């Protein structure tokens, strides 16, 4: 393991900062990929790092862990998925404010980052992917968005997508879904395929270039090859980032 991971607690969130191997021996400034709530940051780093070469420039990764996915990653209140479940609390706006106004500010002050939106990405899986995609419509901090097996079945999401447009129409957006995810026994979750395709085609019309939007289908269901899905998404999103000597 050649990379470094530094850990913080910021506003009650555990924050893991991945630094590429050459960070501490260079003067370069790096693009930053933020991750909503991954439990496998080391596995993701080990999958990504071998790709750093002339084709893929190195970048910083910042993983922000949530203690309450049903609050932090949902854009509005919604009923539980079943009788024994908890209500979704709809506190994504509060979370995004902390992410962009406190955590990102700390990272930019503490590390050599390229701060512009085109060099700043946000990615997440499941509800965390929904929250990542929600930022596309609610702020302009992130110019690269990844929603992996995103919970786009979420009540009201299709209507929201139809009545809203991205804040940053130059953003690069990656959506993915497992081929078996629409086979869910839960009627709400079973709409995820239709909802994901709806979001994809809406963004194709709204973003400035069709090259900036990708929908990737993967084998299996919601929990199949999660690290591999992160790897594919991150490599596509970060394929054209740069490092520079900005002081």
Query: With 90 as the cut, is the pLDDT of residue 53 above it?
Result: no
- Enumerate the domain spans of the chain: 4-237
Query: With 70 as the cut, is the pLDDT of residue 115 above it?
Result: yes
For residue range 175-186, list pLDDT tens digits in order: 999 999 999 999
pLDDT band at 84 (very low <50, low <70, confident <90, very high): confident
- Alpha-carbon dihedral sign for residues 64, 65, 71, 75: positive
Task: Tell me the average pLDDT across 66-76.
Answer: 98
First CA to last CA across the chain, in angstroms? 29
pLDDT band at 111 (very low <50, low <70, confident <90, very high): very high
Query: With 80 as the cut, is the pLDDT of residue 8 above it?
Result: yes
Gyration radius of the chain over CA positions: 17
> Edge to edge, what strands does the sheet with 32-36 contain?
4-10, 13-19, 60-65, 32-36, 120-125, 144-148, 172-178, 213-218
- Spatial contact of 81 and 189, defined as CB atoms under 8 Å apart: yes
Written as one string, the DSSP assignment of 91-126 is -HHHHHHHIIIIIHHHHHHHS-B--SGGGEEEEEET
What was the pLDDT predicted at 142?
98
| Cβ-based neighbour number of residue 51 at 10 Å | 15
Closest CA relative to residue 181, chosen from 214, 148, 159: 148
What was the pLDDT predicted at 112?
98
What was the pLDDT predicted at 38?
86
For residue range 116-175, list pLDDT tens digits in order: 999 999 999 999 999 999 999 999 999 999 999 999 999 999 999 999 999 999 999 999
Mean pLDDT, rounded, of the chain: 95
- Spatial contact of 22 and 37, defined as CB atoms under 8 Å apart: no
According to DSSP, the residues that pair with 6 across neighbouring strands are 17
- Alpha-carbon dihedral sign for residues 76, 64, 149, 137: positive
Work out the burial of residue 88: count CB atoms within 10 Å of its CB; fewer than 13 is exposed, 13-18 middle, 19 or more buried: buried
pTM metric for this prediction: 0.96
What was the pLDDT predicted at 216?
98
Query: With 70 as the cut, is the pLDDT of residue 245 above it?
Result: no
Architecture of the domain whose range is 4-237:
3-Layer(aba) Sandwich (3.40)
| Cβ-based neighbour number of residue 24 at 10 Å | 8
């Amino acid at each position: 393991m050649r990379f470094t991971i530094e850990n913080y607690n910021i506003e009650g969130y555990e924050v893991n900062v991945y630094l590429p191997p050459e960070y501490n021996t260079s003067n370069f400034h790096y693009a930053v990929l933020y991750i909503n709530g991954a439990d496998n940051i080391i596995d993701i780093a080990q999958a990504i790092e071998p790709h750093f070469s002339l084709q893929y420039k190195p970048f910083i990764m910042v993983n922000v862990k949530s203690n309450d996915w049903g609050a932090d990653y949902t854009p509005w209140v919604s009923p539980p998925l079943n009788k024994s479940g908890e209500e979704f609390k709809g506190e994504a706006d509060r979370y995004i404010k902390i992410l962009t106004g406190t955590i990102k500010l700390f990272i930019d002050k503490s590390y050599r980052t390229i701060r512009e939106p085109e060099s700043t990405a946000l990615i997440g899986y499941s509800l965390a992917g929904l929250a990542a995609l929600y930022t596309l419509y609610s702020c302009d901090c992130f110019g690269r968005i990844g929603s992996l097996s995103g919970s786009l079945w979420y009540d009201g999401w299709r209507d929201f997508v139809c009545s809203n447009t991205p804040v940053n129409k130059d953003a690069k957006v990656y959506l993915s879904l497992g081929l078996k995810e629409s086979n869910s026994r839960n009627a709400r979750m079973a709409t995820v395929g239709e909802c994901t395709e709806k979001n994809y085609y809406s963004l194709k019309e709204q973003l400035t270039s069709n090259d900036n939007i990708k929908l990737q289908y993967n084998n299996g269901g919601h929990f199949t090859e999660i690290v591999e899905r992160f790897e594919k998404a991150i490599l596509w999103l970060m394929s054209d980032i740069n490092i520079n000597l900005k002081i």
